[in-house]
Structure 1
Amino acid sequence: MIDEEGAVPEAGEFAQRAEPFRRELLAHCYRLLGSADEAEDVVQETYLRAWRSYGTFEGRSSLRVWLYRIATNACLTALKNRGRRALPSGLGGPADDLDVPVGAEEADVAWLQPIADAPESQDPAAIVASREGLRLALIASLQYLPARQRAVFILREVLAFPAAEVADMLGTTVAAVKSTLQRARARLDEVDPERGRISEPTEPRTRELLGQYIAGFENADTAALERALRTDAAIELVGTRTWFSGRATCLRFLARVIGSPGDWRMIPTVANGQPAAAAYRRDDDGVYRAFGLGVLDVTDEGIARIVVFGGGPDLVGRFGLPPANPCP
């Protein structure tokens, strides 16, 4: 209800009740859209719509379910007539010839974006589940699903909403939800049949390998990088179609970009529930300026994949990091 001055009497109550769900709604919209920027916009839209309609909210479902319904349908609207967001490995085979320059950035491709990791739960199991639902490999695989299949899979498999609640959110039947989920699972098995658990960023082996990766870059030590990488390791350069497969090929590429000791500084962080490193490159004036972010798939056997996002100061700023001259 809106009073004569155009104010919503329940605004304070709405903010108090709805605000705790903002972060999880952001993660939900990111899973659907593959873009942190778009997810933030949709969450803002969701809260605006919910605030305007709060006076008519009758409590037939929980406030959380109601917010998810608004957010999910806003995402489905945003996904209409839009192609999937991609990583380089989803657009073609790996590069074989390192003598061919890395491709120029392609602005016409909708690229997958990373998202900062900020679990709020104090429950270790809940934190692990939240991180697993944000893995880059999962987000990239979800992009292959039609929008409604993507929504059903996320709501049922990642968030564990009951089928009846999902049906209500999407305006369909329980039978349709179950059928859609089966098709989504089958498609994901085709796209990534070897989906498996990667190591948590807090595990000692993970921290050790991230440290080796950072030291290898900062000290221009390709031997350290060789020890850290698995034999089947891959490197993807988001923004271009270029990616490399196999430790030998990856090391040849790294040898070309690693420079001399002191050319790079790195700050460990977490992105998409995975270990990551914000990279700063020294310019001719001696200033270390943000280059971007490397997100690592780490297993007990070594680093399996490095996905490089070259977003500069804007990207590292999303992770609460400085645009230049990080502490040595």
Structure 2
Amino acid sequence: MASATTTVNDDFLAKANPFRRELLAHCYRMVGSVHDAEDLVQETYLRAWRAYDKFEGRSSLRTWLYRIATTTCLTALEGRRRRPMPAGLGGSAHPDTPVAEQPDVPWLEPVPDAMIGATRTDPAAIVSMRASTRLALIAALQHLPPRQRAVLLLRDVLAWRAAEVAELLDISTAAVNSILQRARAQLDQAAPNEDEVTEPSTPGQRELLDRYVAAFEKKDVPAIVELFSTDVVWEMPPLSEWYRGPEHVGRHLAVRCPGGPDDIRMVRTSANGQPAFAQYLRAPAGSGTHFLPFNLQVLTLTGNRITHVANFLDTGLFEKFDLPQHLAD
């Protein structure tokens, strides 16, 4: 009996583990939290392992796992509040007004590219993965009710047939098409135009990021602001205040942001298919550690300008991104 169970376990893991990263991406799109997504993938695999002896192969194992993952996410989302970004809660603030943390809000979280990167070498799969995990798109998805979210992801991201989605959700094909139409309409109002968002692949864009790092480490606010678009957005969860426009962002950086020249270090990483930086702040004198985690920035580029900076002040994210907990000088 033990040998048979071991064989089932080994067979299941060998066949199911290659899908773990893309299932994590799917759960992340559904719930907007890398921590919750990891838990939901674990629950998905546990449910799948328990039911594996009943898997009849009427669909592919990948499709079967996505069915379980989607159901698991929908159950987890029952009664939960959506995960917003500050700009989704109200109008922009003036940089001279007081700022306040909102720890009771379940804020949206970024996801490391290393955790969800496409396991296939197909360039189209890699581009699709990046596009479908853009931070602005994930934030827009959170505005949809969970069932609308699931239908849109299954149809538009995973390219399931309407009949497959209907079977999963136990509704009619007509209902699936109606839900999808409403979801697309609402998403169009909140999501960015993907054709305008660009990868940092050209020499000019790479130089832009180099200048951004140099300016921040020198605390050269005019040089930072020069890299922004005229309608740049600056967000800082768990702070509910956010700013629009280079003037307001520059005022915030000059007046409120701690540190001076040479007090900040930037470590490159990537999140949500976008360039990102871990920002470290010089520790107080005598602490024994020169630079400590301060925030995680995720940047959006449009052409040769920075159009959005999301500053995540939750330093617990550094562990998820496999970033050091301190830097030497």
- Which residue in 2 is equivalent to 1:115? 111
Correspondence list, 1:48-87, <5 A: 48-87=46-85
Please give the alpha-carbon distance, in whole angstroms, between the structure 2 residues aligned to 1:301 and 1:189: 24
Q: 1:208 to 1:258 in 2, by over 3 A?
A: farther
Deviation at 1:258, TM superposition (A): 5.7
Deviation at 1:263, TM superposition (A): 0.5
Correspondence list, 1:1-328, <5 A: 3=1, 7=5, 9-96=7-94, 98-103=95-100, 105-118=101-114, 119=117, 120-192=119-191, 196-256=195-255, 257=257, 259-285=259-285, 287-312=290-315, 314-325=316-327
Please give the alpha-carbon distance, in whole angstroms, between the structure 1 residues aligned to 2:192 and 2:264: 36
Please give the alpha-carbon distance, in whole angstroms, between the structure 2 residues aligned to 1:181 and 1:152: 6
Q: 1:205 to 1:162 in 2, by over 3 A?
A: farther
Please give the alpha-carbon distance, in whole angstroms, between the structure 1 residues aligned to 2:232 and 2:223: 14
Please give the alpha-carbon distance, in whole angstroms, between the structure 1 residues aligned to 2:3 and 2:125: 44
So what's the TM-score if we normalise by structure 1? 0.93
CA RMSD of aligned residues (A): 1.8
SS across alignment from 2:82: coil
CA contact (8 A) 2:205 2:304 kept: no
178-187 vs 160-169, greater mean Cα deviation? 160-169
Please give the alpha-carbon distance, in whole angstroms, between the structure 2 residues aligned to 1:264 and 1:293: 13
Q: 1:21 to 1:193 in 2, by over 3 A?
A: closer
Please give the alpha-carbon distance, in whole angstroms, between the structure 2 residues aligned to 1:225 and 1:248: 11
CA contact (8 A) 1:152 1:180 kept: yes
CA contact (8 A) 1:107 1:239 kept: yes
SS across alignment from 2:278: strand
CA contact (8 A) 2:33 2:109 kept: yes
Q: 1:197 to 1:117 in 2, by over 3 A?
A: farther
CA contact (8 A) 1:201 1:270 kept: no
SS across alignment from 1:10: helix
Which deviations, in whole Å up to 9, do the C-alpha atoms of 1:100-131 show, x marking residues without a partner? Answer: 2321x212111000000032332222211100
Q: 1:89 to 1:251 in 2, by over 3 A?
A: same
Please give the alpha-carbon distance, in whole angstroms, between the structure 2 residues aligned to 1:42 and 1:80: 14
Q: 1:250 to 1:138 in 2, by over 3 A?
A: same
Which deviations, in whole Å up to 9, do the C-alpha atoms of 1:218-264 show, x marking residues without a partner? Answer: 01112321221111111001101110001111111112226322110
Which deviations, in whole Å up to 9, do the C-alpha atoms of 1:245-301 show, x marking residues without a partner? Answer: 011111111122263221100011110111110000001136200112000111114
AA matched with 1:281: L
Q: 1:9 to 1:225 in 2, by over 3 A?
A: same
SS across alignment from 1:252: helix
CA contact (8 A) 1:206 1:275 kept: no
Please give the alpha-carbon distance, in whole angstroms, between the structure 2 residues aligned to 1:140 and 1:67: 25
Deviation at 1:166, TM superposition (A): 2.0
Unpaired segments ≥5 residues, structure 2 = none
CA contact (8 A) 2:27 2:37 kept: yes
Identity across matched positions, percent: 51
Deviation at 1:193, TM superposition (A): 7.0
Please give the alpha-carbon distance, in whole angstroms, between the structure 2 residues aligned to 1:162 and 1:206: 38
CA contact (8 A) 1:76 1:147 kept: yes
199-208 vs 82-91, greater mean Cα deviation? 199-208
Deviation at 1:32, TM superposition (A): 0.3
Please give the alpha-carbon distance, in whole angstroms, between the structure 2 residues aligned to 1:11 and 1:197: 46
So what's the TM-score if we normalise by structure 2? 0.93
Deviation at 1:174, TM superposition (A): 2.2
Q: 1:203 to 1:18 in 2, by over 3 A?
A: farther
SS across alignment from 2:297: strand
